[in-house]
Amino acid sequence: MGSLKAILKNPDDLFPLLKLKIAARNAEKQIPPEPHWGFCYSMLHKVSRSFGLVIQQLGTELRDAVCIFYLVLRALDTVEDDTSIDSDVKVPILIAFHRHIYDNDWHFGCGTKEYKVLMDQFHHVSKAFLELGRNYQEAIEDITKRMGAGMAKFICKEVETIDDYDEYCHYVAGLVGLGLSKLFHASGKEDLATDELSNSMGLFLQKTNIIRDYLEDINEIPKSRMFWPRQIWSKYVNKLEDLKYEENSVKAVQCLNDMVTNALLHAEDCLQYMSALRDPPIFRFCAIPQVMAIGTLAMCYNNIEVFRGVVKMRRGLTAKVIDRTKTMADVYGAFFDFASMLESKVDKNDPNATKTLSRLEAVQKTCRESGNLTFWGVRADMAQP
């Protein structure tokens, strides 16, 4: 649960935190008894506690498919992220990964901590995958194949232009959006969303993570991971790693604001995607991460701490987001409030101020014109650390 100090500063966090703790315990009790399914759900909670909570709201059949989809892509991502693996070893594994998921004996030693356990015991994931309905299997295989090929492409290619950045984010996250839309459709609970809107759902989350994780990625050992596009950062510094040095603080914040402004391009598509969802559990599953993303962007914008440490919502505010995000009115309200908070942080002298304000106004306009707006008052919530 949140720290005592944080709860004392924000006493209204306590009830949502308690609800979150109870939900976490209930989720752990629902872990299936079969060893391979037990491994998959236990591993899901270890690699992403918040995802493990939200996924529990889905019906059993769809929940199983989404769980395996997530673990397969997390394993693929573990191979891509491990900078100690030589490219001539890594690339063939990425390209062939969609075939490995059908092999009960396949595993590959890489990653650290829980990710190493996932890779060493991947046969449990394969066994569970083979028990899914064929329509789910085909969707997971297709996305895994396309993602592996895309990741392999960028092992040998740097993110130079904004088009490269969008393409990379499409491979590692936009395809997740497409895959989830296919799984929702295969369950019979949703119409099939367009690829464009599905892609934006993934890109909004991925770009937020890339912005937030700058310092962790640039300090990666033995080799930095560099995802910020040269087309953006080269306007401010000579080398991407220069952004973390104190003497470049002004330029670093300007570059950061440029990156946040780029991410905001996808916000309206995300609102359109979510507004079309009919099934309440699927809606919450999709909406909670998107609300977290725009909240994280609001925290990161104009914040030098992105280059000094980790910037993220306190646990109590995360619990509030999970508790409050129930309807589209809640989502419109959260996006409007976070956009307003972000707007208040825009320095008129920032090189991208006009563009940033234009994108924020477009988000606010969409929320207002929906006629379906529940205000959150997030500025007061985020005023305390």
DSSP symbols for 64-102: HHHHHHHHHHHHHHHHHH-TTS-HHHHHHHHHHHHHHTT
Judgement on whether residues 261 and 185 belong to the same structural domain of the protein? yes
Judgement on whether residues 259 and 314 belong to the same structural domain of the protein? yes
DSSP string, 284-349: HHHHHHHHHHHHHHHHHTT-GGGGTS-----HHHHHHHHHH--SHHHHHHHHHHHHHHHHHT--TT
Question: Would you say residue 81 lies in a domain?
Answer: yes
Amino acid present at 361: E
Question: Would you say residue 3 lies in a domain?
Answer: no
Judgement on whether residues 140 and 166 belong to the same structural domain of the protein? no
Q: Give pLDDT, residue 383.
A: 44
Asked whether 335 and 363 are in contact (CB, 8 A), the reply is: yes
Judgement on whether residues 172 and 93 belong to the same structural domain of the protein? no
The set of catalytic residues is 168, 212, 225, 285
Judgement on whether residues 43 and 138 belong to the same structural domain of the protein? yes
Judgement on whether residues 289 and 379 belong to the same structural domain of the protein? yes
Question: Would you say residue 221 lies in a domain?
Answer: yes
Count of domains for the chain: 2
Judgement on whether residues 265 and 316 belong to the same structural domain of the protein? yes
318 CB neighbour count, 10 Å cutoff: 21
Q: CA 292 to CA 308: how far, in whole Å?
A: 21
Low-confidence ranges of the chain (pLDDT < 50): 380, 383-385
Judgement on whether residues 335 and 186 belong to the same structural domain of the protein? yes
Prediction pTM value: 0.90
Question: Would you say residue 349 lies in a domain?
Answer: yes
Asked whether 202 and 170 are in contact (CB, 8 A), the reply is: yes
Q: Give pLDDT, residue 10.
A: 59
Q: CA 340 to CA 369: how far, in whole Å?
A: 15
Question: Would you say residue 167 lies in a domain?
Answer: yes
Asked whether 192 and 185 are in contact (CB, 8 A), the reply is: yes
The set of residues, in sequence order, having a beta carbon less than 8 Å from that of 337 and lying 6+ positions away, is: 375, 376, 377, 378, 379
Question: Would you say residue 26 lies in a domain?
Answer: no
Judgement on whether residues 153 and 163 belong to the same structural domain of the protein? no
Q: Give pLDDT, residue 61.
A: 93
Q: Give pLDDT, residue 385.
A: 46
For residues 345, 351, 354, 355, the Cα torsion angle rounded to the nearest 10 degrees is -100
Judgement on whether residues 230 and 256 belong to the same structural domain of the protein? yes
Instruction: State the residue range of the domain holding 177.
Output: 158-384
Q: Which helix (H) or strand (E) holds 208?
A: helix 195-212
Q: Give pLDDT, residue 363.
A: 98
Q: CA 329 to CA 372: how far, in whole Å?
A: 5
Q: Give pLDDT, residue 384.
A: 45
CATH number for 43:
1.10.600.10
Q: Residue 108 — left, alpha, or beta (φ > 0 → left; ψ -120 to 50 → alpha)?
A: beta
Judgement on whether residues 82 and 197 belong to the same structural domain of the protein? no
Last residue of a domain, which of 127, 157, 187? 157
- Tokens 């609102």, residue located: 271
Judgement on whether residues 181 and 104 belong to the same structural domain of the protein? no
Question: Would you say residue 19 lies in a domain?
Answer: no
Last residue of a domain, which of 98, 129, 157? 157
Q: CA 118 to CA 108: how far, in whole Å?
A: 9
